[in-house]
Amino acid sequence: MTKRLIDVDDAKLGAVRDLLGTTTLKATVDAAFDEVLALEERRRTLLADRGVDLNGLADPEERQTAWG
């Protein structure tokens, strides 16, 4: 694990804490990372179930077709 010094928007931090039910900055950041990773996995699963080539999603036209 690496310590990092960053500026954090207090309003966004508060909103995310409320959404995630966390109380500390560390817990909030960890939970937010977990949520983003889980969201990506759900997105990939949904697209794969639709037969979408995940490698082609960098192309805006293919992305629009995939999400219909």
Instruction: Using the structure block, give the residue that is written with the tokens 């990372």.
Output: 33
The H or E element containing residue 34 is: helix 25-49
Q: What is the pLDDT of residues 7-38, one digit of tens each?
A: 999 999 999 999 999 999 999 999 999 999 99
Q: What's the whole-number mean pLDDT along residues 48-59?
A: 78
Q: Where are the domains of the chain?
A: 10-67
Model-level pTM greater than 0.95?
A: no
- Please tell me what DSSP assigns to residue 44: H
